[in-house]
Each structure stands twice: as C-alpha cells, then as structure tokens.
Amino acid sequence: MRHQSSHSRKSWDFYFMDIAYMAATRATCPRRQVGAVLVQDRKLMGSAYNGAPAGVTDCYEGGCLLVDVYEKNAAGEIVQKQHCIRTIHAEQNLILFTDRAQRLGSTVYVTDSPCWTCANMLANSGIAEIVYHRPYEKDLEKVSRLLQEKGIGFRRLETYQPPRVHSERIGD
C-alpha cells in the first residue's frame, strides 16, 4: 500500500473546501448544488447546502419553482433568464443552523461565491472571511465591493480541484 508523502498533505483550505463540496451533494435542486461550511479556529462548526425547507416539497419531488428574471449579460444586453426560488441558499441555511458565537471571527468555505442576498446576510452574521471556488459572475463585483467595505476577507481558491463524487439520489 502506497502512502502519500508528507509534502502532499492537504492544506486546511482544500480540506474544508472538500467538505463544502461534500455538503453540496445533499442539495435538493438539480439546477444548482452549493455547499458551505463554517470554520472557527480550524474547527468545523456547521455545514449546509441549498434546499427546500425540511418537510416541504423539493425540486426533485415537485420540479423547480422557476421565476423569470432579467439580467444584463457581458455585452450589456438585457436577457431573460429563469431562477429556481424553491431552495434556501446554502449560506442562509448555514446561518440558520449555527449560533452567532460560532460565527464570530469565523471563515465560511463555500463552493460558489455568494449571491448578493447571501453576501449581505453573511456581512451581518459575524464572520470574518469567505473562501470560495467557483465564481458566481452575476453578483461577483457588487459582492466583492460590499465585503471589502465591511472588512470581510474574500478570496478564491484558484488552484483547487473538487473531489469527484458520484451522485446517487436517496429518498430523504
């Protein structure tokens, strides 16, 4: 049996991002799977994913709950898109399921950079830093400005590679 040499030991950043990706496998919307974890002093304080409220029909059972939205594309044109609004976002669930004392000075690792609403909530949640992997381009610029104004760290793990996970749907 081969052992990895010590220089290839996983960094804390990659370790916690792996866990965020694992949490994302529990997401209940096929359009988007986001996972987030809360880390305080290198300890895992909570994990969350985007999903419908417990006990309520989710996207796998009832289909996505789509609404039309209008967004500017890269060329500055207004385009119509559809968003699924059935789920509570991972970052929001993370706030719902942790205590403020656990969030003070903590880091949120999240698979995707937060949307505007989540960033706004995280800015008021006591956390000190947000680390993400995939950029959510639509809100990235204004989210970045907000977090800078608030003094919350915001960085992307550029060289990170998510673990390969097989998706197997289970019934709960």
Residue number with CB closer to Zn ion (41 or 141): 141
Nearest distance from C-beta of residue 56 to Zn ion, angstroms: 12
Q: Which residue has the tokens 């059935």?
A: 86
> Token digits for 141?
């610029």
Span from 13-21, 22-30, 40-48, 164-172 in contact with Zn ion (CB under 5 A): 22-30
Q: Which residue has the tokens 């796998």?
A: 60
Residue 64 among known ligand-binding residues: no
Alpha carbon of residue 5 to chain centroid: 31
Among 19, 23, 52, 59, binds Zn ion (CB under 5 A): 59
Nearest distance from C-beta of residue 42 to Zn ion, angstroms: 25
Residue 115 among known ligand-binding residues: yes
Q: Which residues contact 12 (CB under 8 A, 6 or more apart)?
A: 42
Nearest distance from C-beta of residue 145 to Zn ion, angstroms: 17
Q: Are 110 and 90 in contact (CB under 8 A)?
A: yes
Bridge partner list, 45: none
Tell me if residue 91 is catalytic: yes
Nearest distance from C-beta of residue 11 to Zn ion, angstroms: 26
Q: Which residues contact 143 (CB under 8 A, 6 or more apart)?
A: 113, 114, 115, 116, 119, 154
Applying the rule CB under 5 A, the residues between 64 and 123 that interact with Zn ion are: 64, 84, 86, 89, 115, 118
> Token digits for 65?
């709950």
Does position 37 bind Zn ion by CB under 5 A? Answer: no
Q: Which of 61, 91, 158, 168 is catalytic?
A: 91
Residue 89 among known ligand-binding residues: yes
Phi, psi values for residue 81, rounded to 5°: -130, 170
Q: Which residues bind Zn ion (CB under 5 A)?
A: 29, 59, 64, 84, 86, 89, 115, 118
Catalytic residues: 91
